Amino acid sequence: MNPLRRVLAKAAEVSYQSYAERFIYKFDAQQSHAMLIDWLESIEDSPFWLAATTTAHNLLYPKLPTPVGGITLDYPMMLAAGFVKGHGYANESMALQAVKAGQNIIPGWRIVPRLVGPVEFGSFTRYPRIGNTGTVMWRDRRQLSTQNRVGLKNPGAVAAAHFLSERKDQLPKQFGINIAPSPGVDNERESIKQVIEAMGVFIKREVLPTWFTLNLSCPNTEDDPTGAQTESSARNMCGYVMQFLNKNQVDVPLWVKISPRLAPEQYATMLKVFHELGIKAVIATNTLGMPSPEDDTLTAGVGGGLLHKEATTALTLLRNASIEHGYNVDLIGCGGLLNGDSYSSFKNLDVAAVQYWSALIFRGPFAAAIIQSEYKP
Ligand SMILES: Cc1cc2nc3c(=O)[nH]c(=O)nc-3n(C[C@H](O)[C@H](O)[C@H](O)COP(=O)(O)O)c2cc1C
């Protein structure tokens, strides 16, 4: 990275830390998140902020073309799913009504990619979800970790596709769409049908992302996420989705996001399935389900510092299987990407690209540029 960019990254970091002390850490994680989303919603169409974020991005982010999962990203670090995902609604007609009323149902869709580069939108489920109630987000500054049980709150695929299709000319140059099976749907055929319908509405409305991610791994509902990650379930779900994309000649690669702490054989088996089906990349990992800080009978997913070791363990197992069998599936590191060292540990595992969420909170909107400036190859 050139010295000027390094200085700018340092300045961005210092400014963010002082801002965060005064305006973010003063509130609990959920309050500050809600305030941030409200703010993004309010500035989404502001010419000043659109220009300022574009300029800041151009100054801080060098173009680093990165081939990964069947595409070439402009930058190797993506903002992971779960930040730009939209409001929750109780049902589809309410979500569609909000779109018709001109409301911004996916705050950040326009401004966040301008600022940080590639973003994975979602997860979206077939139908809207209101998510879990009460306190659903925590942060641990000492461990640089987050924990959440948002519970796949989102406006649903139909309203999200409708909303984005009306703004097609403003969509970012590169973005992903993450689709999750609906929690609570036990019937496998119905679950697959809903995933395909969800993907299908984006395609039908010509909201074609740069990549689709199929999220097999959400720990923050009362479903068991490991259930979708057995060989037969993963093969069925991914197989039908690939069939659907191929049949409709959709030229968008499919990636899959998986959990940490699965059995070693499970990683090897899943990678084999992904390779055989033509899945282009696997994102390892989603958050780690742990007892929620306020009620240990509930599960809340841990991200950030406390997840990093789990993510690198998963990636090591995937990499070993890939080397042994010559699988053609790119690895994407996700989990505790917080600084140059954690980026190095991912790079040492031959990841093609990385994703982050918690770093956005602990290192600010220029986290990816700051991490890149700290990285020593
Ligand atoms: C509040 C919150 C909401 C999230 N929602 C989603 C989601 O909807 N879909 C998904 O695939 N991952 C979701 N994630 C997981 C992140 O995409 C990421 O996998 C995880 O936080 C690990 O990255 P990190 O260690 O950089 O935070 C969410 C994470 C957080 C903190």
DSSP 131-186: ---S--EEEETTTTEEEE---S-B--HHHHHHHHHTTGGGS-SSEEEEE-PPTT--
Closest by CA position to 247, among listed 209, 199, 214:
199
For the whole model, what pTM was predicted?
A: 0.97
Predicted local distance difference test score (pLDDT) of residue 225:
58
Is any ligand 1 atom within 6 A of the Cβ of residue 80? yes
Predicted local distance difference test score (pLDDT) of residue 48:
97
For residue 80, give the ligand 1 atom closest to its CA.
17
Nearest-5° angle of CA 89, CA 91, CA 95? 55
For residue 337, give the ligand 1 atom closest to its CA.
26
Containing 370, the helix (H) or strand (E) segment is: helix 367-374
Q: Mean pLDDT in runs of 10 for the chain (377 residues)?
A: 87 94 93 95 96 95 96 98 97 98 97 97 97 95 96 97 97 97 90 97 98 86 64 92 97 97 93 97 96 92 98 98 97 98 98 98 96 92
CA 260/CA 336 separation, integer angstroms: 12
C-alpha 334 to ligand 1 mean position (Å): 9
Predicted local distance difference test score (pLDDT) of residue 346:
98
Using alpha carbons, list the distances in angstroms from residue 101 to 43, 45, 93, 163: 18, 16, 12, 11
Nearest-5° angle of CA 218, CA 322, CA 338? 50
CA 234/CA 95 separation, integer angstroms: 30
C-alpha 107 to ligand 1 mean position (Å): 16
CA 88/CA 277 separation, integer angstroms: 33
Predicted local distance difference test score (pLDDT) of residue 229:
74
CA 265/CA 272 separation, integer angstroms: 11
Predicted local distance difference test score (pLDDT) of residue 319:
98
Containing 189, the helix (H) or strand (E) segment is: helix 188-204
The answer to whether 133 and 173 are in contact (CB under 8 A) is no
Predicted local distance difference test score (pLDDT) of residue 231:
85
Tokens of 238: 């991914």
Residue nearest to atom 18 of ligand 1 (CA): 286
Percent of the chain with pLDDT over 70: 97
For residue 146, give the ligand 1 atom closest to its CA.
31
CATH number at residue 353: 3.20.20.70
Candidate of 259, 287, 309, 342 to mutate for ligand 1, largest count of ligand atoms within 8 Å of Cβ: 287
C-alpha 213 to ligand 1 mean position (Å): 13
Using alpha carbons, list the distances in angstroms from residue 231 to 227, 263, 319: 10, 12, 18
Is any ligand 1 atom within 6 A of the Cβ of residue 85? yes
Predicted local distance difference test score (pLDDT) of residue 227:
59
Structural domains of the chain, count: 1
For residue 334, give the ligand 1 atom closest to its CA.
23
Residue nearest to atom 29 of ligand 1 (CA): 82
Predicted local distance difference test score (pLDDT) of residue 377:
87
User: Who contacts 115 (Cβ-Cβ below 8 Å, separation ≥6)?
Assistant: 53, 56, 57, 365, 366
Is any ligand 1 atom within 6 A of the Cβ of residue 257? yes
Query: Which residue range(s) make up the domain with 48?
Result: 3-374
- Going across the sheet that includes 288-291, the strands are 137-140, 145-148, 299-304, 288-291
- Residue 298, SS3? coil
pLDDT in tens, 22-69: 989 999 999 999 999 999 999 999 999 999 999 999 999 989 999 999
Predicted local distance difference test score (pLDDT) of residue 4:
87
Candidate of 152, 315, 357 to mutate for ligand 1, largest count of ligand atoms within 8 Å of Cβ: 357
Closest by CA position to 314, among listed 273, 284, 334:
284
Supply the DSSP string of 66-100, one letter for each residue.
Answer: EEETTEEESSSEEEPTTSS-----SSHHHHHHHHH
Please confirm whether the linkage preceding 93 is cis (ω < 30° from 0): no
Is any ligand 1 atom within 6 A of the Cβ of residue 337? yes
Containing 330, the helix (H) or strand (E) segment is: strand 330-334
Candidate of 28, 213, 286, 309 to mutate for ligand 1, largest count of ligand atoms within 8 Å of Cβ: 286
CA 293/CA 136 separation, integer angstroms: 10
Tokens of 362: 């602990």
